Amino acid sequence: MSGMKYDIIVVGSGPGGYVAAIKAAQEGCKCALVECASLGGVCLNWGCIPTKAMLKSAQIYAYARAAESYGVKVPGNVEVSLDKVVARSRIVADTMSRGVAFLLKKNVVDVVEGHGRLAGKGCVEVTDREGNTRMLEADHIILATGSRPREMDFMPVDGKHVLSSRDALLLDKLPESMVVVGTGAIGCEFAFLYATFGVKVTMIEYMPAILPLADEEVSRTLERSFRKLHATVYTSATVKSVTVNAGGKCDVVVESRKGIETLTADVVLSAVGIKSNIENLGLEELGVTVERDKIIVDTCYRTNIKGIYAIGDIVATPALAHVASAEAICCVEAICGKNPAPIDYTAIPSCVYTTPEIAMVGLTEKQALEQGFEIKTGRFPYTASGKATAAGDRDGFVKLLFDARTDKLLGAHMMGSNVTEMLSEPTLMKRLGITARQLAEVIHPHPTMSEAIAEAAEAIDGKAIHI
């Protein structure tokens, strides 16, 4: 393929890159996709998909242990075979990666294996694993190289004692104890996973609450859920150092409201955020503007250099797979002259797959008040839901925030079984400006957890039927 000419070249095959390539092909463009690792990127291979597979195993384990409460007798002891849990997660990830390969082939996208680097105007130099290079040309080049776990100097990742999220997906045995540093979505999901499997988990968060970007009520409720799993939670705490002692365990020096203390655990999971993959892309040589680890783009994802675009985790928008995919479609449509509407970043759904699940969109209550909104709050607890009670999943609630002046949704914060599947309804409400009254008038099927959304809308006027 040396010297091949394309309409669009995409560098990176994650949920931004492969979607951009397929969309480009669907629009009639000749497209190449450059990837140096497995198709599907980190999300599919080492993030979203395999973690959800392992979390499903944890859920099944929890159900099996509680089987008698449902009238089901499980013979013998319920045990976790971590090697089989991990093996299943890898099969799931590999299956999805092969699915991406099939879609690219179906849409006649040329997949070029190797590391892609900008090599001048309209050129991408690709270096394969053997060090061989080839040059590809295109009028439009989309960078979608994603991110990787961030490493901190005081907590160097070695893959054995201090783990990255990728390492945590490949453990060959359950540790007796684990310290999780950072309690965003990744930290919380792994903490829940291993605490459910019986590992003594300690969570350390620098901010005043775990899952700090969530609504405060969600954060408080999630912390109670972790305590039920016998996890220890430190907030407003700083990790000063992590060292391996003579016994092969990790000593974690923590400064919190209690003072300075040393925690000892078998392993430490570093979940302190992500780092954009923008090194060795040729950005500096071409003069692409970068600020604070992010490539600067406009609403159509054009950089300051004509013909160069960037999407996904390498730009300053929410680092979520579905956001990268939406940006990919918007970017390609703009290239193809379709004049797409800019993405509405006030209506980005976000999910955390602990048990109970967490789903949120829009402003938190604190943000809404800080922005000067007068709010009306509608809340419906899962304890009043027939479906949740029948399922034995009564832990949770739906909380909706409305603008008191316009009656339009400002934010939705849901916690409980199945809420990640229910989030699209309030996201659509936020996107289209649907009012609380309009939502309350929509007939929801019974019995479902989704009834809680309509009940929460009615609750803002004290007219919910079932509470």
Positions annotated as catalytic residues are: 446
Burial track 50-69 (b if 16+ CB lie within 10 A, e otherwise): bbbbbbebbbebeeeeeeee
Max Cα distance, the chain (Å): 69
75 — phi, psi (to 5°)? -70, 145
Task: Residue 180: name the closest of 395, 354, 42 by CA.
Answer: 354
- Can you tell me the distance from the alpha carbon of 376 to that of 394, in angstroms, rounded to the nearest whole number? 25
Q: Is 169 helix (H, G, I), strand (E, B) or coil?
A: coil
Q: What is the DSSP string of 358-413?
A: EEEEE--HHHHHHTT--EEEEEEEGGG-HHHHHHT----EEEEEEETTT-BEEEEE
* SS3 at position 16: coil
Q: Identify how many contiguous H helices and E strands the chain contains and give both numbers.
A: 15, 24
DSSP state letter for 338: -
